Amino acid sequence: MPTPSENTLFGMGNPLLDISAVVDKDFLDKFGLKLNDQILAEEHHKALFEEIVQKSKVEYHAGGSTQNSVKIAQWMIQEPHKVATFFGCIGTDRFGEILKKKAEEAHVDAHYYEQNEEPTGTCAACITGDNRSLVANLAAANCYKKEKHLDLDSNWELVKKAKVYYIAGFFLTVSPESILKVAKHASENNKIFCMNLSAPFISQFFKEPLMKVMPYVDILFGNETEAATFAKELGFETDDIAEIAKKAQNLPKENTKRQRMVVFTQGKDDTVATVGEKVTRFPVLDIDQNDIVDTNGAGDAFVGGFLSSLVKEHAVEECIRAGHYSANVIIRRVGCTFPEKPDFQ
């Protein structure tokens, strides 16, 4: 199997600093949060960010969905360093410096667009038991500009070096034109472009940009809730996850040399994936309920593990096994963090 070289994997998204704390139901109710939801912060959430940092055990971790995934892919690959490239926008502030330092520690080749109009984005991860509710204040992440960053020759060269591309659906709210430029490049050069449904609100409120990118998507990721919302928005008229996967696979596609693959995770239930013409179920690794510390980042970790095998050109079964392994590691820890080395054979 080929050893991936530097910049083989390209990711672009919202770099956020995760602020995670254990909260109670009253805290969720106070700010109108649902269990296991992901939302964008609105005006009335401002106080939430001030309150959560006062909690007794607050932790800061480099986050943002796509950045988490490429970081985990890099961790799974180990050597060489900088197989993963990451683009996104941060502020010129302390949180931005933390993100730069964390990316470097994770051996990810991060090239941030830095601006000083907005502070670095944050994501409040409100943990209750084995549930988490995420509130993202994009701030700087929302300021990514195609013409000021992606279009620069030195940056576009890094995009061209890649063979596998991954962008979470969250970035559709920021720069759909950047996503399209990368997706078209992948499609025209028969490379692999992967995308994630990311959250129910993406299919609900950003359906138009999502469906503009869909013809270029070679691998579509999502979880059971996102899959159900996507199916509803597209009028699939089924809530059977295998059927939804099949219908999503058959949506129009530009590069016909590659059949689209759809991969839906379902927490502790089987992962469902289209393998050729069939829909196959892959059981996840067993874990004792008491060992689950924090499910935040499990989906990102699954994608990261999957991508680490994909860049080595492994079969889909292997990619899913790697995804299950990394998700299993991440949920035993707070935040999207990992031990020094993976123990994956």
Q: pLDDT tens digit string along 101-121?
A: 989 999 999 999 999 999 999
Structure tokens at 185: 């490049």
Average pLDDT over residues 156-173: 98
* Separation between Cα atoms, residue 229 and residue 305, nearest integer Å: 25
pLDDT of residue 239: 95
Mean pLDDT of the chain: 94
> What residues have CB less than 8 Å from 63, skipping those under 6 apart?
16, 17, 18, 123, 125, 297, 335, 336
* 260 in Cβ contact with 251 (< 8 Å): yes
User: What percentage of the chain reaches a pLDDT higher than 70?
Assistant: 100
pLDDT category at 327 given cuts 50, 70, 90 is: very high
- pLDDT, one tens digit per residue, over 248-259 is 999 999 999 999
pTM (2 d.p.): 0.93
Identify the DSSP state of 2. P
Centre a 10 Å sphere on the Cβ of residue 191 and count the other Cβ atoms it contains.
18
* 21 in Cβ contact with 59 (< 8 Å): yes
pLDDT at 155 over 90: yes
pLDDT at 10 over 90: yes
Helix or strand or coil: residue 94? helix
pLDDT of residue 180: 98
* Residue predicted with more confidence, 69 or 94: 69
Helix or strand or coil: residue 137? strand
pLDDT of residue 57: 80
pLDDT of residue 290: 85
Average pLDDT over residues 2-25: 93
Which residues pair with residue 40 across a beta bridge? 136
Average pLDDT over residues 324-335: 90
pLDDT at 230 over 90: yes
Distance of CA 100 to CAs 36, 87, 96, Å?
28, 12, 6
The H or E element containing residue 306 is: helix 298-310
pLDDT at 56 over 70: no
pLDDT at 52 over 70: yes
Centre a 10 Å sphere on the Cβ of residue 50 and count the other Cβ atoms it contains.
8
Helix or strand or coil: residue 5? coil
Please identify every residue annotated as catalytic. Answer: 300
- pLDDT, one tens digit per residue, over 279-301 is 999 999 999 888 887 777 899 99
pLDDT at 218 over 80: yes
pLDDT of residue 61: 84
